[in-house]
Amino acid sequence: MKLPSNLLPDEASPVWMNKGDNAWQLTAATLVGLQSIPGLVVLYGSIVKKKWAINSAFMVFYAFAMVLVGWVGCGHRMSFDEKLVFFLGKPAVALDEKFLLGQAFLGCFPTATMVFFQGVFACITLILIAGCLIWCPDGWLAKLGVIDFSGGYLIHLSAGVAGFTAAYWVDPRLDKDREMFPPNNIILMLAGAGLLWMGCGADSTVEVKFLRLVDDPIAIFHTHAIAGGLGGILTGFFAVPKLCRLFYMVPDWEKYIGLGYGLQNGQTSAGLRQMGIQLGGVLFVIFINISTISMICWFVGLFVPLRLSDDELQIGDDATIHGEEVFALWNDEETFQNTKTNSAFEAEDSSSMKSRSLGDVQMV
């Protein structure tokens, strides 16, 4: 039976490519990208106090753009290409035509689709290093047998630990901002949470004394690090080999034996081994993120202060940095016309913000 002309292989659709798989992979990648832009823009811009709304939203834009450039510039091939050392790949550009149009290392679609798919995960996580360890078939944690179906380690544990570490280096906000931290727009906050398809019932107060030492305004550590780490460990308990085979599609799928499965089938030692591997993966991800983020924060702190002054924090990031207000009323645009970062004005004018009293600026 002759195939329709649109299904015949050609240069744009080689024999190895499955159009359905490629279409779904692109759709899934786009949905993940929408979690960041506009999902996190709306969520983070509305869940914080009014005086930080614009800065929080812009931080998402900046991070998404820079990680995307870094991903195609060196991140993808460092994560999924040739090894440099046993836990890290060689950095290389992922933009040449031959590389992008070839078949991906996994699946019946081109490498360009894989670069896009993994790139949006990198953007939403801001942590690239775990990708070459767990999700790459040749990664040493993957070979060891760490199970990570949808990014519990790769995304949530990495982002939670990294964010918590960065918050430690930045130092806390003002006490009154930590004690009273209402969202500036609950409707938009719920809309952003809906785009991420997750409830964000984060509370700014923490009863654990150690955690109170670090200012984690949106409870990233609780929402991501704890959930990701606990989910990974429980995966080691509930894992069933046949179900893992459907996900990993590797010949040695029998090694994925959860402790619960092992207790039922007389393979307790194999189950305990999987639990140990999962716990080891948690510890390594925590270690690599704490060490990496600490080095980055220390280096940046040599040139740029990581924390605004108390007076600037009192006014808010939006006014002191961007010269904007998220919900500006009539003529409010003139309130923040001159800021320390506005190059359109002379130095003596741009410094006027510092000399103004806090009462001149609306604070929430």
Residue range 19-236+278-301 in CATH 1.10.3430.10:
yes
Q: What does the alpha-carbon distance between residue 84 and residue 318 come to, in Å, rounded to a whole number?
A: 42
pLDDT value at residue 267 = 84
pLDDT value at residue 231 = 82
**Domain limits, the chain:** 19-236+278-301, 310-360
- The contacts found for 316-319 with CB under 8 angstroms, 24 or more apart, are 316/49, 316/50, 316/51, 316/52, 316/361, 316/363, 316/364, 317/51, 317/52, 317/54, 317/55, 317/56, 318/50, 318/51, 318/52, 318/53, 318/54, 318/55, 319/51, 319/353, 319/361
DSSP letter at 103? B
Q: Which residue has the tokens 């998220």?
A: 326
149 in helix, strand or coil?
Answer: coil
Q: Using DSSP, how many helices (H) and how many strands (E) does the chain show?
A: 20, 2
pLDDT value at residue 27 = 87
Q: What does the alpha-carbon distance between residue 23 and residue 27 come to, in Å, rounded to a whole number?
A: 6
- The contacts found for 345-353 with CB under 8 angstroms, 24 or more apart, are 353/315, 353/319, 353/320
- The contacts found for 302-307 with CB under 8 angstroms, 24 or more apart, are 306/169, 306/170, 306/171, 307/170, 307/171
- For the chain, strand residue ranges (E) read 83-85, 88-89
pLDDT value at residue 135 = 55
pLDDT value at residue 340 = 52
Instruction: Answer for the pair 211, 219: CB distance below 8 angstroms, yes or no.
Output: no
* Residue ranges, the chain, pLDDT below 50: 127-133, 198-207, 334-336, 338, 342-364
pLDDT value at residue 51 = 74
